Amino acid sequence: MIIAVDGPTASGKGTIAKGLARHYQLPHLDTGLLYRAVGRQVRLNGGDPDDPLDAARACEFPDSLLAEPMLRTEAVGALASRVSVHKRVRAALLARQRAFAARPGGAVLDGRDIGTVIAPDAPVKLFVTASLEARAMRRFRESQSRGEDVTLDAIHADLVRRDARDRNRAEAPLVEAADAMVLDNSDLDAAESLAAAIALVERRRGEQA
Ligand code: DC
């Protein structure tokens, strides 16, 4: 079973995807991490994330970069959002994601375009979302727990920018797949969100049985 989990920044899709992978004993790929690695590598190369060629060159990052804790920071997330608009970057990362989705036995992938581009035939698609306020507060608490020096206002403004960039780009924009089940978890904690996600997966599996 392939489970596609898409949604905007800080919607909780990563936590839900990890929980679903654990629950169904499937491998999990956080595809945002690949774009984060490209964003980080552009900077390491001294390149410009908005330049298509610099961004494309950065797709040849070493796998060891994926384990760097700093990939999770807000700063690298913003770079990832910028490099992800380039067609060549998306093309360079496509095969790796498709191969993961094609694993025998299935997989859980989370990102922005899993249900629409990477695994359009996935039998189960979730679109996880939450209000801007709820997402900003979550991201603020996460950043604080990592000791990052950021304000709630700055995070809020960054989310608005990232939402606009991710939703309005020409290549594989963030959009609900027609057959995705929408899970709004603004008022749910992590455990409740996962329980709601499992219920939706089970409902879809029941419909398909
Ligand atoms: O999920 P995340 O915050 O780690 O993603 C960082 C950026 O990467 C996001 O703003 C857009 C880009 N991204 C993408 O374009 N497609 C994906 N499948 C995953 C992430």
The C-alpha angle 73, 101, 69, rounded to 5 degrees, equals 20
Residues pairing with 182 in the sheet: 127
Q: What is the pLDDT of residue 197?
A: 98
Instruction: State the distance from the centre of ligand 1 to the C-alpha of 111, rounded, in angstroms.
Output: 6
Residue ID of nearest Cα to ligand 1 atom 13: 32
> What whole-number distance in Å separates Cα of residue 20 and Cα of residue 4?
11
**202's tokens:** 């089970």
Q: What is the pLDDT of residue 149?
A: 87
pLDDT tens per residue across span 24-58: 999 999 999 999 999 999 999 999 999 999 999 99
Q: What are phi and psi of 168, to 5 degrees?
A: -105, 0
Tell me, yes or no, whether 209 lies in a domain.
Answer: no
**Is residue 82 in contact with ligand 1, taking CB distance under 6 Å?**
no
**Is residue 15 in contact with ligand 1, taking CB distance under 6 Å?**
no
Tell me, yes or no, whether 176 lies in a domain.
Answer: yes
**Ligand 1 nearest atom to the CA of residue 114, by list position:** 18
**175's tokens:** 């959009």
Helices (H), 3-131: 13-24, 31-44, 52-57, 74-83, 87-101
**Is residue 19 in contact with ligand 1, taking CB distance under 6 Å?**
no
> What whole-number distance in Å separates Cα of residue 187 and Cα of residue 123?
27
The CATH number of the domain where 50 resides is what? Answer: 3.40.50.300
- Tell which residue, 32, 17, 201, 29, has the closest CA to residue 111: 32
Name the domain count of the chain: 1
Helices (H), 109-151: 132-145
Tell me, yes or no, whether 195 lies in a domain.
Answer: yes
Tell me, yes or no, whether 163 lies in a domain.
Answer: yes
Residue ID of nearest Cα to ligand 1 atom 16: 112
Q: What is the pLDDT of residue 150?
A: 87
> What whole-number distance in Å separates Cα of residue 42 and Cα of residue 27?
28
Q: What is the pLDDT of residue 154?
A: 93
**Is residue 81 in contact with ligand 1, taking CB distance under 6 Å?**
yes
Q: Considering the chain, what percentage of its residues have pLDDT values greater than 70?
A: 100
| pLDDT reading at 73 higher than 90 | no
Mean pLDDT, rounded, of the chain: 95
Residues pairing with 5 in the sheet: 110, 126
The more confident residue out of 171 and 86 is 86
Helix, strand, coil percentages, rounded to 5, for the chain: 60, 10, 30
Domain span at 157: 2-204
Query: Sign of the C-alpha dihedral, residues 79, 50, 173, 151?
Result: positive
Through-space distance between the first and last CA atoms of the chain, rounded to whole angstroms: 12
Tell me, yes or no, whether 69 lies in a domain.
Answer: yes
Q: What is the pLDDT of residue 12?
A: 94
| pLDDT reading at 172 higher than 90 | no
**Is residue 85 in contact with ligand 1, taking CB distance under 6 Å?**
no
The pTM assigned to this predicted structure is 0.94
**Is residue 100 in contact with ligand 1, taking CB distance under 6 Å?**
no
| pLDDT reading at 146 higher than 90 | no
**Is residue 77 in contact with ligand 1, taking CB distance under 6 Å?**
yes
